[in-house]
Structure 1
Amino acid sequence: MKLLRVISTIDPKGGGPMEGARRIDTELIRLGHSTEVVTLDSPSDNFIQNYPAAVHALGPSKGGYRYNGELVNWLKRNVGNYDAVIVNGLWQYHSFAVWRALAGVRTPYFVFAHGMLDPWFKRRYPLKHLKKWLYWPWAEYRVLRDARASIFTCEEERRQARNSFWLYRTKEEVTAYGTSSPPANSGEMALNFFDKFPKLKGKRLVLFLSRIHEKKGCDLLVNAFAEVSTNHEDAHLVIAGPDQDGLAAVLKDKARQLGIQDRISWLGMLQGDEKWAAFYAADVFCLPSHQENFGIVVAEALACGKPVLISNKVNIWREIEADGAGFVDDDTLAGTVRNLRRWLALDPAAHIKMSKQARMCFTERFHIRKAAERLLEIIQDNSYKY
């Protein structure tokens, strides 16, 4: 098939949806299919050239909504060249533009919500939710209603999506999601990491690798680490990820107040081999999010055989718990403390066993090939019925 992906941005700093699109498109091409991407990024953005498929960058675009007057016309001119259109994300102009452009057209479109219908946002940002309600009936509701299917990356996300807006109608499908196998030279990559960060050698590394954002529970992790690390002098917290809102400065100040500033390393955004090296060097991965649609970084940690400590607001928590691939608790300070303490209490044999379970969990559930094959199945099953 020849597929078109429509996504607001493919900037890696945007997090999971962008990384997921990149991984799945790479796998789709391996499977013999053709994918192209239309995005509202500027053609001059340096990350455009690094995408694995052909990119049509129509930006720059306006404001947080990323309005772009060219998108609808581009889609109308070109949509006949594709067998199906995949929309990544809601609440920005690209999804509404697809609905406008494809009305009455035979080419089907499919929507990945990427957790953007999770009721956590309604509770956390009630004023923003009210604004979305004003927008919902004439835009995103129609986008989902007229899609051949709305695709959710796990069963928990599908269930949660029904609770944000009472006006809700769409054909629901669930697909696997995940990441590709990491580089195999784990020992060499870990050594490279310690060569670059020698003060971390010999430590028990707790890794947080994600956007530094309030919904990720970074503050919980800093406070919880301060509470548990007093009895574990070899424990060290590594925080890696882009800081788009200035939260890192607040957290660093909190670490100083707690007296643990020397026990936290801030590495910034890691990509490519540097990212995989951090996973291999770590002993455990921690993500105490308040809301996480899927968590590709969780799948990446599992792929490297690392146990994961996550909250029960990471939507794949049931799978992690069922496979014994880590520990799950509430997205609170107490829950984060309990997760860290349970991991720190493991003896070496139990830790090795959990690491094996983590790798098995990735292989059985979250390898990107399964995600690509399931996506193709959904498109084929829903494309030729009308």
Structure 2
Amino acid sequence: MRVLEIIGSVDPRHGGPVEGVIRQAVARRQFGLETSIVTLDPPNEPWLRDIPVPIVALGRSGGAGSSRLPWRRYGLGSTMVPWLRQNLCEHDVAVVNGLWNYAVCAARRTLIDSGVPYVVFAHGMLDPWLLHRHPVKHAAKRLSFALIEKPLLDRARAVLFATEDERNRARAGDWRFAAPDRIVGYGTAEPDGDPAAQVEAFGRLIPALRERRFLLFLGRLHPIKGCDLLVEAFARVAAQRRDVDLVIAGPDPVGWRTELQRRAAALGLAERIHWLGMLTGDAKLGALRSCDAMVLPSHSESFGMVVAEALAAAAPVLITDKVPLWRDVAADGAGLADSDDVDGVHRVLEAFLSAPPERIGRMRGAARACFLRRYEISIATRRYTDALRDAARGTAETGRPAPVMAMKC
């Protein structure tokens, strides 16, 4: 079966959804599905060469996600619509990933009447948290939803969510659509390579941490990730725990790092917080293997791919109850979770740093077991593959026939 993934960008700086699309595309080969990807990325981006899946990049330099001009960030100017009209019928099913960009508009203009069955994977983009912080954007997206997203969602064979929490938050945001929804899960692959070499690769970046304990934040520096909560909460524990540092590693898409650094300096943490850009490859795995715990104080996540990656590397995770994996993490003893505010983040930091070494050792074993039991990628791939096969056959999870579209290919 041939699957076409439609996504605004596969730039790795966009985080978990991108990582998930690529890893799932590779993993589903064992189930007889071959995947290709079409994006709004410029074709000359260097990281496209490392993607192990056939990819068609239809954007231009300064296109989606890389320009200050809003219409260019949206992706206008690409050739996606004519490309889809010419190539859709070579595929048995399409997946539209995410919302609120021109790739979705192009899908709406071409998929609905093509006769090619499709699903939409929301990737957390129906969560009301961020929209409520920006009323103007909320109003603009309500208009976009009426004109673009809702017609696309209404005619989909299914709208996919990674977790029940993500689906519930989308419903709370009152985004109404006619298609059935379906939870397919998510996951990540087993980390490969030499653990010792990975630890050394990270150690070369910050040699001072070779002999010190540290907590690790790994992700975009964005308000939705709660980086400000982490700085404030770490300040509360740092004075009593002089042997622990904090590493904040990730891209800075909204230019927030300078403000966070100023706040850290005002709190007397300039020497205790280490700021890195985006980590990849051995350095990223080395950070996860070396840290005492990975911290993700998010206000919202569709899944929390970095949590699964940390569990795979046997790192305990300290998260908020807005990260959908928190119940599994708590039940398995793989980490700690609390509310998404300064007090909640402080409580998990204090509880973890106060724990005796033997308990932290048990957490590491539990983290690894949690990954293998719940989030190893083949587990979710089976469910996702079933959803794609059902879409291609024209059945929803409920067993009801999906909307019938006349084939125009």
Q: Which bracket does the TM-score occupy, shorter chain normalised?
A: over 0.9
2 CA distance for matches of 1:311 and 1:341?
14
Query: Which of 203, 208, 230 is residue 212 of structure 2 equivalent to?
Result: 203
Matched, 1:43 2:43: yes
Instruction: Tell me which amino acid in the other structure corresponds to 1:88.
Output: N
* Deviation per residue, 1:91-113 (Å, 9 max, x gap): 11111211221223332111110
Q: Which runs of 4+ in 1 moved over 4 A?
A: none
Partner of 1:107: 116
1 CA distance for matches of 2:34 and 2:144?
34
Partner of 2:324: 315
2 CA distance for matches of 1:259 and 1:103?
56
* 2:197/2:282 contact within 8 Å kept: no
Query: Which of 84, 87, 92 is residue 83 of structure 1 equivalent to?
Result: 92
* Deviation per residue, 1:204-234 (Å, 9 max, x gap): 1100010111111111111111110111111
* Deviation per residue, 1:18-77 (Å, 9 max, x gap): 111121112123544311111111111112211111111111245222124521221111
1 CA distance for matches of 2:51 and 2:272?
36
| TM-score between the two structures when normalised by the length of structure 1 | 0.96
Q: Once the 2 structures are TM-superposed, how far is the Cα of residue 157 of structure 1 from its aligned partner?
A: 0.5
* Deviation per residue, 1:174-199 (Å, 9 max, x gap): 01212111125323422342244220
* 1:202/1:234 contact within 8 Å kept: no
Worse-matched range after superposition: 337-346 or 12-21: 12-21
Worse-matched range after superposition: 203-212 or 25-34: 25-34
Unpaired runs of 5+ residues, structure 1, are none
Instruction: Tell me which amino acid in the other structure corresponds to 2:53.
Output: A
2 CA distance for matches of 1:358 and 1:130?
41
Instruction: Tell me which amino acid in the other structure corresponds to 1:28.
Output: R
Instruction: Tell me which amino acid in the other structure corresponds to 2:315.
Output: K
Instruction: Tell me which amino acid in the other structure corresponds to 2:44.
Output: S
Query: Which of 358, 379, 401 is residue 370 of structure 1 equivalent to?
Result: 379
Worse-matched range after superposition: 319-328 or 110-119: 319-328
Describe the SS at the equivalent of 2:310.
helix
Partner of 1:245: 254
Worse-matched range after superposition: 58-67 or 33-42: 58-67
Query: Which of 140, 159, 169 is residue 131 of structure 1 equivalent to?
Result: 140
Describe the SS at the equivalent of 1:47.
helix
Instruction: Tell me which amino acid in the other structure corresponds to 1:207.
Output: L
Equivalent positions of 1:163-178 (< 5 A) are 163-165=172-174, 167-178=176-187
| TM-score between the two structures when normalised by the length of structure 2 | 0.91
Partner of 1:225: 234
Describe the SS at the equivalent of 2:74.
coil
* Deviation per residue, 1:259-284 (Å, 9 max, x gap): 11111111211111111111011110
2 CA distance for matches of 1:152 and 1:299?
16
2 CA distance for matches of 1:80 and 1:181?
34
* Deviation per residue, 1:281-307 (Å, 9 max, x gap): 111000101111111111100111111
Worse-matched range after superposition: 119-128 or 284-293: 119-128
Partner of 2:162: 153
2 CA distance for matches of 1:22 and 1:136?
27
2 CA distance for matches of 1:33 and 1:246?
40
Matched, 1:189 2:198: yes
Describe the SS at the equivalent of 1:5.
strand
1 CA distance for matches of 2:254 and 2:59?
23
Equivalent positions of 1:269-284 (< 5 A) are 269-284=278-293
* 1:162/1:168 contact within 8 Å kept: no
Partner of 2:7: 7
Partner of 1:337: 346
Query: Which of 328, 331, 336 is residue 327 of structure 1 equivalent to?
Result: 336
Unpaired runs of 5+ residues, structure 2, are 64-70, 395-403, 405-409
Instruction: Tell me which amino acid in the other structure corresponds to 2:54.
Output: A
2 CA distance for matches of 1:223 and 1:25?
39
* 1:122/1:164 contact within 8 Å kept: no
2 CA distance for matches of 1:166 and 1:196?
44
2 CA distance for matches of 1:139 and 1:365?
35
> Residues 383 and 186 from structure 1, CA distance in 2 versus in 1: closer, same or farther, beyond 3 angstroms?
same
Q: Once the 2 structures are TM-superposed, how far is the Cα of residue 166 of structure 1 from its aligned partner?
A: 5.2
Task: Name the count of aligned residue pairs.
Answer: 386
Worse-matched range after superposition: 307-316 or 177-186: 177-186
